[in-house]
Structure 1
Amino acid sequence: MARSLVRSALAMATLLVIADTAFAAVPTDLDARVEAAMRENGVPGMAIAIVEDGKPVLAKGYGVRKLGAPERVDADTIFPTGSTGKAITTAALAVLVDDGKLKWDDKIIDHMPWFRMYDPWVTNEMTVRDLLTHRSGLGLGAGDLMFVPSSSRSRADTVRALRYIKPATSFRSGYAYDNLLYAVAGQLIEEISGQTWEVFVRERVLKPAGMTSSVTEQSARFANPNRAWPHARLGGRVRGLGEQGVLDERKTLGDNAAPAGGLSSSANDMAHWMQVQLGHGTWKNADGKQVKVFSEEQSKQMWTPAILTPTAKYPGKLAPFSPNFSAYALGWSVRDYRGVKVIDHGGAVFGVQTYVALVPEKNIGIAVQINSEDFQAMRGVAMELLDHYLGAPDTDWLAAFDEFADNRIAGGVAALDEAAKARGPSPGKASLATADYAGRYNDPWYGPIEIKNEKGGLRIDFTRTPGMVGRLEHAHHDTFRAVWDDPNIEPAYVTYALDAEGKIDHVTMKAVSPIADFSFDYQDLMFTPVKKQ
């Protein structure tokens, strides 16, 4: 099958009827193109929303919500939207700015006096804008293990732990993507409004935007029968290899991380959200009434770049995707593509992914959601749609992203082989008896873990992350490999460091896979033994 979307004047003759409304046409071969992309990549389900000239022209589902079940994805099927929901949290803050209760450059400590960063100077200087722009000095994904894959922590407790995370760079000196400071933003909304992030977003953003199926609470998502289930390939040496399988939907993200990526939404609601964005804070509802969610001034603020981000030169067939400039604004990325400015953002929780792209000067918005981790299908379809609406030359984006994904996985497997070769054939003898490695350990920001000696083998328990338990297999010398009972959790090396007396001084960790998701920030942990009382 041809791998590019056909642009045809005859497409205008095609009408799609969604929610009793006739919309303008989309590419005539879109359905076949999407189905081919899903089939070739093993994607169970996909949903697409398109807004053109400020109006929805498509909101449609494809495939199934869950492998092995007959229920189909439709325009109201909700998917977790991951980090695309950061723009929703930013919009909630924009509402507070419009209410006169907040300014973008207000210092956090003035509204939340108990807020602390590791550096007291940064504590005093951190602003609302800083929370949203990944320029805090924290390392990539720092603290994400307080969310991933679930957590028993409250949001406030998560924010309090921030003071123990050492910065990776100086404040405002560079860009490093984080989720933790969006949890702070959610807590800030509660401190100012008196309502939780979940309630405030629902009442002041989702309802005014007409996003009637979207939910902020995980419990509400689980209660909705029309929801997409997460899927992933976990059967190979690195994530992404093996057969597609259904994940435990209750172990994909902790509730405390909701402001960073906990919103669930449908194609119909994503269309409304893009209308609001392209309308600079307002949209026209079914009654023809203009509804304001936030002001045009706040829309401008949210799209204004705050920090430059790397302009990566992508290899091979993805080379045309490389931007000339790239920046991060407030909950949105800003980049160039084919001579136009694109406001976009990707989002993922384990087993589900979303991509949203806006082209303000063309008044176009595209959102694609999938219930798997095969991003190449999602991004390929999205880029071909974007090219279609920009009138760009045909590009086989699905093939380009397939090549990129294949090379990434192959590189990960090769790196594992090189690491094994470097270690040599002999694992080296452990310094201590198995039982001596057991005990209670504590990290300043994560908190306690427990390592038990059970029937001659070691078991590790991340006590504040329900279900994050597994066995420790000896790897080499004083390093063990954590193999979790839940295969969704990335395996990790656990290394014991001994002091001059041969006693355990501290324990460090790192992901086994060189392409593990950055949210498994094992490398930021430093556990020390807890003395017995």
Structure 2
Amino acid sequence: MLGVLLLLPLHLVVADEYDALFKKMMDCNPSTAAFAISAVKDGKLELNRAYGKANREKNIDVTNNTRFSIGSISKEFTGYMAGKQVLEGHYDWQEKITDIFAKKNVKMSMQGAFRNKTCTLEDAMTHRTGIKMHDWLLTDDRDISRSDWVTKFIPLFQEELEMRSSFYYNNWFYTLVGYIVELFGGKSFEKQVKESIFDPLEMKQSCFVSDDEFDALSEKDFAQPYQEGEDRSTLYPVPKEAMKFIGIHNPAGGIISTAGDMAKFMIGVIDALNGEDGAVLSKDVMESITEPKTLMGMQLGDSTLIEKPTFNATFKDSGYAYGHIIGTYRGYKYVNHGGSTYGHYSLITVIPSLKIGVFTVISGNNYKNTNMWRMQKPMQIYMLDKLMKQDVWLDAENACTFPKPWIGENTDTFEGAKRKVEEEIVDKPLSVEEAEYVTGNYSNPVYPTMKLKLEDSQLKFEMGNSNGTIIRTPGENENRLKIILNMPVDPLNLPEKEKMVAYLIYPTAPLTANKVENLEFEMGQERYQFTRNGSDTHHLSVFLVIGAFIIKLLSNNC
């Protein structure tokens, strides 16, 4: 029945109503290359539209058949597969991770005696393990299987917070859940999703980044991913191949789809939660995976909460369920998730009680991880109001100034999509004496060997398939060095000023002292211990700080 509904002429509100806002938003956000949206109500497709270019360089228009990465929205699919197996009796939400693996004679452990003895499937799926995120590893090109990643790497990941002390987003535990689904389903995670969700919902334009189908997609079929420059108007093309790094982590963020296919998914979710006759997805499963289990202190990916009385209505996340964010808009419970990968950013929101849902996805437009706030949330709020037949408070007149007039000036938001670029600081070369102080190879059981070496009087950084140049930035602490990184996910011909940066920080010490022995690799606010290979020198510390740019690409919503 679902397929017939979606093949009928679209049950549309007059499209021109929407064009005024959507085209205006594209105009005032010149770093958005492509935008697609679908909306559903009462089991029917209300809207399915696309704007912009699938490929700017080749002037290829985006269409309703253009595919995008949906990033962490993939976790909703993983949640469904785990819920299905729970209902089948294979394991339970409250069952310990180690016991679940033991049923299949797979040895599994985690850092910390308390976590190792008590961490449950629910802890893993609702982001309360407190384990470090290790998002840099998403660019790792070593030949590592999903089973090895889960059973050999995750046990080595150290804690950032005490378990169950706070909501702490972690992509890799969804890789773990995907592996559990494989163990108990007897097939690959990808095949089970296809058989249980894609095929029954007739999502014929959906696949995974590891599929041959994705490899075969042409420039007309797949929206070119873009990295937004800090001037808020320049876009740098990201190689399609960057998406392939997600492969073994498909359960966390590897689905490729269209707005139309995601409309079918939204109808499937809404039908199931309302117990509709002929619902494709299981009502029992959907109810079990959409009850919040972990309190969220703030919205993922947002710098400002949309709440009354400051704003006309409240759009607020409150808790995390199994692969789903739960919150309220205008007092109605929604089921929601965002997603981000290398140049694609998405958001899905359904309000089951009203039988409505909205999906949006864009390419580009994510400087400092602000796309949800600058573009997607306003467009979703507008569309939800239209579907709810509420007075619209975000429209073509104020969308580009949002959050004004509700709150004051915000340089990270829409108006003109411009940002004042700070006066460029001229970096200085590193002295040979200082460079020699930290040269050497350093190891960590999870990461590739980190190599710091002197070449032509220039200190170089290398780790796996990434490398960089180490320099000094005026104004920084004496023991703080900048690393300008070259990453495999970098856009082609990316200017140096737009590249990812890292910092090498070491305690003040005489440069005549022996070389440092221990390093800590820090990404965001997380640090990972490295030790000099074959070292027996003094115990000094070096801190490697990876800048926020990788976080910007992944979003907590990877």
Map of 1:387 onto structure 2: 385
* Aligned with 1:58 (options 27, 38, 47): 47
Question: 1:29 offset after TM fit, Å?
Answer: 1.4
Letter in 2 for 1:116: S
1:250 is matched with 241
Q: Secondary structure at the match of 2:449?
A: strand
Residues 24-73 of structure 1, C-alpha deviations (whole Å, 9 max, x = no match): 12254112321221121021111111110122222232222111223322
Please name the residue that 1:117 is paired with.
110
Which of the residues 526, 530, 533 maps onto 2:533? 530
CA shift digits 1:342-381 (9 cap, x unpaired): 1111111121111100011110011011112342222221
d(CA) in 1 for partners of 2:95, 2:208: 26
- Name the counterpart of 2:460: 459
Deviations 1:302-326 (A, max 9, x none): 1101011115763899744655661
For residues 139-150 of structure 1, what are the structure 2 equivalents within 5 Å? 139=132, 142-148=133-139
- Tell whether the 8 Å contact from 1:508 to 1:526 is kept in structure 2 after alignment: yes
* 3-state SS of paired residue (2:115): helix
2:160 matched to 1:172? no
Q: 2:515 — aligned with what?
A: 503
Q: Which runs of 5+ in 1 are unaligned?
A: 1-16, 511-519
SS in structure 2 at match of 1:199: helix
Task: State the percentage of identical aligned residues.
Answer: 21
1:214-233 residue pairs with structure 2 within 5 A?
A: 214-219=206-211, 220-225=213-218, 226-233=221-228
The alignment status of 1:359 with 2:355, answered yes or no, reads no
Amino acid at match of 1:79: F
1:156-191 residue CA offsets vs partner (Å, 9 max, x unmatched): 333222222222222222211111111111121122
Matches within 5 A, 1:321-340: 322-323=314-315, 326-340=318-332
Residue-by-residue CA offset, 1:127-166 (whole Å, 9 max, x unaligned): 2222211111235xx1111114866533233322222222
* 1:254 Cα deviation after fit: 2.8
Amino acid at match of 1:184: L
Cα 1:91–1:521 shift into 2, 3 Å: same
Q: Quick check: 1:196 aligned with 2:184?
A: no
Residue in 2 that maps onto 1:482: 483
**Cα deviations by residue, 1:483-512 (Å, 9 ceiling, x for unpaired):** 1234565211122347895430322355xx
Q: Is residue 2:97 matched to residue 1:108?
A: yes
Equivalence for 1:25? 12
Contact 2:273 2:352 in 1 (8 A): no
Match of 1:41 in 2: 29
Amino acid at match of 2:119: M
d(CA) in 2 for partners of 1:499 and 1:167? Answer: 29
Distance 2:413 2:393 in 1: 23
Residue 435 of structure 1 aligns with an amino acid whose one-letter code is E
Asked whether 1:268 is paired with 2:260, we answer yes
TM-score by length of 2: 0.78
Aligned equivalent of 2:175: 183
Structure 2's unaligned 5+ residue stretches are 492-498, 537-558
1:344 to 1:503, Cα distance in 2 relative to 1, 3 A = same
Find the aligned partners of 1:459 and 1:157 in 2 and give their Cα distance: 31
Q: 1:368 to 1:393 in 2, by over 3 A?
A: same
User: Does the residue aligned with 2:9 lie in a helix, a strand or coil?
Assistant: strand
Q: Secondary structure at the match of 2:40?
A: strand
Match of 1:515 in 2: none
Which AA in structure 2 matches 1:243?
A: T
Secondary structure in 2 aligned to 1:388? helix
Equivalent residue of 2:61, what SS? coil
Q: Post-superposition shift, 1:263?
A: 0.7
TM-score, with structure 1 as normaliser: 0.82
Q: Residues 41, 64 of structure 1: CA spacing in aligned structure 2 closer, same or farther, 3 A cutoff?
A: same
Distance (Å, rounded) in 2 between the aligned partners of 1:330 and 1:378: 23
Task: Please say if residues 275 and 283 of structure 1, whose CA atoms lie closer than 8 Å, have aligned partners that are also in contact.
Answer: no
Amino acid in the other structure paired with 1:65: A
Residues 1:297 and 1:19: Cα distance change in structure 2 (over 3 Å): closer
**Aligned counterparts, 1:378-417, within 5 A:** 378-396=376-394, 398-399=399-400, 401=402, 406-408=410-412
Give me the whole-angstrom Cα distance separating, in 2, the residues matched to 1:73 and 1:429.
46
Q: Aligned equivalents of 1:442 and 1:26: distance in 2?
A: 59
The answer to whether the 8 Å contact 2:429/2:471 transfers is: no
Aligned mates of 1:18, 1:41 — CA distance in 2 = 34
Contact 1:143–1:521 at 8 Å: present in 2 too? no
Out of 447-456 and 425-434, give the one that drifted further: 425-434
The corresponding residue for 2:436 is 435
TM alignment of 1:305-344, pairs within 5 A? 305-311=292-298, 314=305, 319-320=311-312, 322-323=314-315, 326-344=318-336
Stretch of structure 1 that moved more, 185-194 or 153-162: 153-162
Q: Does the 8 A contact of 2:430 with 2:472 survive in 1?
A: no
Residue pair 2:274, 2:352 contacting (<8 A) in 1 also: no
| CA distance in structure 2 between the partners assigned to 1:416 and 1:126 by the alignment | 46
CA contact (8 A) 1:151 1:255 kept: no
Q: CA RMSD in A?
A: 3.5
